[in-house]
Structure 1
Amino acid sequence: MRSKHGFDIWHSYMNTWHDLNIDHVQFNVVSTDELKAAQREPEKHQDLIVRVSGFSARFVDIPTYGQNTIIARHEQDFSAQDLEFLKVDL
């Protein structure tokens, strides 16, 4: 979502999921920086709620491995080749 075409790519995903009748999609609208800050100082982020496989959980209550998995999903980015593949003008 941070890139010039991020919203358009996300919107295309949503349309595809709809066309394929996929009824379970989850999003976390939080920055990677905030998630990492919660790992460093969990006492300051007790109210940070994330979606995990169909349920919500307090991020600081999730084991470190699970937290790292959530952070890794947030750090996905598109390269020029991905944008080319998606037929997005550079």
Structure 2
Amino acid sequence: MQTQPRQAPKREGCKEAILALLEQHGGEMPSNELIDELKQAGYSIATVRRVRDGMKQEGMLRLFPKGQCGNRQWFIALAAHFQEQPHLK
């Protein structure tokens, strides 16, 4: 009998929350705002980072900077949204 890791349900919920938030924001949003909203929803920063990194490795998410040197901000986007926006490639 195999048991799932204790954090599996929390991570799955976090993954669904990330997808829902990105959909609500048109497929992309500032990374720090996504993290803030997930922390308010009760997810730890460690869980958010683990889930985000796993989703990046699976090709579901992309991170990219916008702005100039002194005003640069990191954004996170659904991979499908990233492919639809030629200026982001």
Q: Same fold (TM over 0.5)?
A: no
TM-score, with normalisation over the residues of structure 1?
Answer: 0.27
Higher-RCO chain (CA-CA 8 Å, sequence separation at least 6): 2
- Structure ID, larger Rg: 1
More helix by share: 2
More strand by percentage: 2
Output the TM-score relative to the length of structure 2: 0.27
